[in-house]
Amino acid sequence: MLKSKTTWTCLLGALGGLAGIFTSELSVAEGAQVILTSLIGLFLRHGVAKNQMTAEKAVEAASVPKPVVKKRIIKKGV
């Protein structure tokens, strides 16, 4: 996750929002909006990547044919 450019962009955006609050360039409401937007982007990106990997594994599992198990039929005597 730390190798992703999106991750670093979101983390730096949140850090920028925090720095804006501390330097009084942004109000607390504006800074909170920047921070929350950055963190939402981070978690959405992580969720999409996780779901994509799961979907790819499901496709691979579905594309491998499994042998059919033949059932023995036992006839009952009357």
Residue owning tokens 């925090």:
18
Q: 3-state DSSP call for residue 31?
A: helix
- 15-69: pLDDT as tens digits: 999 999 999 999 999 999 999 999 999 888 888 888 888 888 888 877 877 777 8
pTM of the model: 0.63
Within a domain: 70? no
Within a domain: 69? no
Structural domain of residue 40, as residue ranges? 5-61
**Would the CA dihedral through 6, 7, 8, 10 be positive or negative?**
positive
Within a domain: 46? yes
Number of domains in the chain: 1
Within a domain: 73? no
Query: 74: which 2 tokens?
Result: 């036992």
Burial grade of 65 (CB within 10 A; 0-12, 13-18, 19 or more):
exposed
Within a domain: 67? no
